[in-house]
Amino acid sequence: HVLTHSFPTRRSSDLSQEEQFWSRFLELAQLQLKDSAYDFFVADSKLVKIDGETATIYLDGNYKELFWETNLKNALITASFEVYNTDLKFHFVFEDTEEIPSSHSGENRRLSSGSLTTEPLPKIDTGLKSKYTFDNFVQGDGNIWAKAAALAVSENLATTYNPLFIYGGPGLGKTHLLNAIGNQILENIPNARVKYVPAETFINEFLEHLRLGEMKTFKNTYRSLDLLLIDDIQSLGGKKVTTQEEFFNTFNALHSDNKQIVLTSDRSPDHLDSLEERLVTRFKWGLTQNITPPDFETRIAILRNKIEDLDYIFPNDTLEYLAGQFDSNVRDLEGALNDISLMAKVKKLKEITIDVAAEAIRARKNDNSKTLVIPIEKIQEAVGAFYGVSVKEIKGSRRVQNIVLARQVAMYLSREMTDNSLPRIGKEFGGKDHTTVIHAYEKIKSMVDTDDNLRLEIQSIKKKLN
Ligand code: ADP
Ligand code: MG
């Protein structure tokens, strides 16, 4: 027996216990969540059945389970205690089962067919790369929320998060996700008007049309879109106000017309210093999601995904070796696989041993600055200069805030940019214990994931060292 949920619901004696439980849960969830989150994560769910102590709940996407586990567990438990006086177990299902009426699919999905243009408009160049899909985007800790939001947008254009703003460091999959949204929408709604464009290209097109006196064509194209995907918005920074102005107008026109906009950037809206404030304010109207570098497990999963089509045997220890070599950029990880493929082809190898892999990626590793040649002293100097702290202070043990930060950043970089052992690094920092170095490294590493300022600071110190 499946229940539909219609609001408002009231507990009354003629509701079955199951119905009471479910409507009470929905009530709690609605109180707890913002409307947009409720609409997206809860509205399409169903209580399939309660069997003994187990409630089976249907979610219309398995990536939603994590959200339920994290945010809705308490509401479920509260409702089960109130109605059943016990702590039910919860089991989530995602597939259509006989028990779920088929009408559920699309039932609450407001896939804005109403807002989609019906009259034939000139064809647009979507700019999309079809190879970037949700299917081949590996989910991990660092990107799960960005992916969930991207999926949400591609199911409910302009009703869930508008704009969606995704930011993160280079090579972490922003462009991939942006294209995946576009490809998914076109699969669902083939005549949707979708355009992917790097911000830089947008500007160039604008200037070109302006020069040719064809602004009308430009405006017609952009303002007739159902979905605008703008990549690397940070590159608008430093552009003339008039060009930012045109983007501002396009943004407003689409947004007020309820058309979806998704943006990516290498930094959060708060750090888009060189963009006009009113633009940045608009970016924050919707949802902002951060992508952080993949953890080890995710890097392995990404590698497995990418070697599927290759003809070589990759033993596990080779995969683990590779995942250990490139830890902050998926593009590098992919590049390493390309290097290896090339070498395997040239040398007619069948199996990729660690030695082969190491040889193939040697040049790339050198490009990536993890070399033996940067002396720790140089790192200390560069970090010291950046934070206005002397090398002596960095090597010392005073626990003043800015000195501690400089010291920890220098330790972090020494570990990241050189092949020195931890005890060796400790020694170079006035004879500290290797556990101090590990602590500093871990601390800065986790801060870098969440603190844009620090990430940018470290990037600029690294640049000076290269
Ligand atoms: P960004 O735009 O953030 O700099 P890209 O989207 O260009 O990064 O990603 C760089 C490369 O890494 C692309 O080839 C992309 O397919 C791949 N990539 C990044 N993240 C993932 C992931 N989670 N799963 C699979 N491939 C990924
Ligand atoms: Mg990109």
> Are the C-beta atoms of residues 142 and 295 closer than 8 Å to each other?
yes
Which residue has the least CA distance to atom 16 on ligand 1?
176
- 3-class state of residue 261 by DSSP: strand
Which residue has the least CA distance to atom 5 on ligand 1?
173
Q: Which residues of the chain carry a pLDDT beneath 50?
A: 1-12, 101-120, 369-372
Whether residue 137 has its Cβ less than 6 Å from ligand 1: yes
Q: Ligand 1 atom closest to Cα of 291?
A: 3
Whether residue 331 has its Cβ less than 6 Å from ligand 1: yes
Whether residue 267 has its Cβ less than 6 Å from ligand 1: no
Ligand 1 pocket test, pick from 128, 141, 172 with the greatest ligand atom count within 8 Å of Cβ, gives 172
This prediction has a pTM of 0.60
User: What pLDDT is stored for residue 99 in this prediction?
Assistant: 54
User: What pLDDT is stored for residue 253 in this prediction?
Assistant: 92
User: What pLDDT is stored for residue 14 in this prediction?
Assistant: 61
Comparing CA positions, the residue from 153, 106, 417 lying closest to residue 262 is 153
Whether residue 302 has its Cβ less than 6 Å from ligand 1: yes
Distance 320 CA to ligand 1 centre (A): 19
Q: Torsion angle of alpha carbons 333, 339, 340, 341, nearest 10°?
A: 110
Which residue has the least CA distance to atom 4 on ligand 1?
171
User: What pLDDT is stored for residue 108 in this prediction?
Assistant: 31
Whether residue 381 has its Cβ less than 6 Å from ligand 1: no
CA distance 286 to 149: 11
Q: Ligand 1 atom closest to Cα of 173?
A: 6
> Are the C-beta atoms of residues 384 and 393 closer than 8 Å to each other?
yes
Q: How many CB atoms lie within 10 A of CB 351?
A: 11
User: What pLDDT is stored for residue 41 in this prediction?
Assistant: 83
CA distance 88 to 77: 7
- Quickly tell me which residue has 């934070």 as its tokens: 387
Q: What are phi and psi of 157, to 5 degrees?
A: -55, 130
CA distance 185 to 399: 54
User: What pLDDT is stored for residue 132 in this prediction?
Assistant: 96
Q: How many CA atoms lie within 13 A of 135 on its CB side?
A: 5
CA distance 420 to 186: 51
- 3-class state of residue 195 by DSSP: strand
User: What pLDDT is stored for residue 449 in this prediction?
Assistant: 84
User: What pLDDT is stored for residue 97 in this prediction?
Assistant: 57
430-433: list long-range contacts, CB under 8 Å, 24+ apart. 430/395, 430/396, 430/397, 432/397
Token pair for 246: 């045109």
User: What pLDDT is stored for residue 201 in this prediction?
Assistant: 92
User: What pLDDT is stored for residue 81 in this prediction?
Assistant: 86
Q: Ligand 1 atom closest to Cα of 176?
A: 6
User: What pLDDT is stored for residue 367 in this prediction?
Assistant: 59
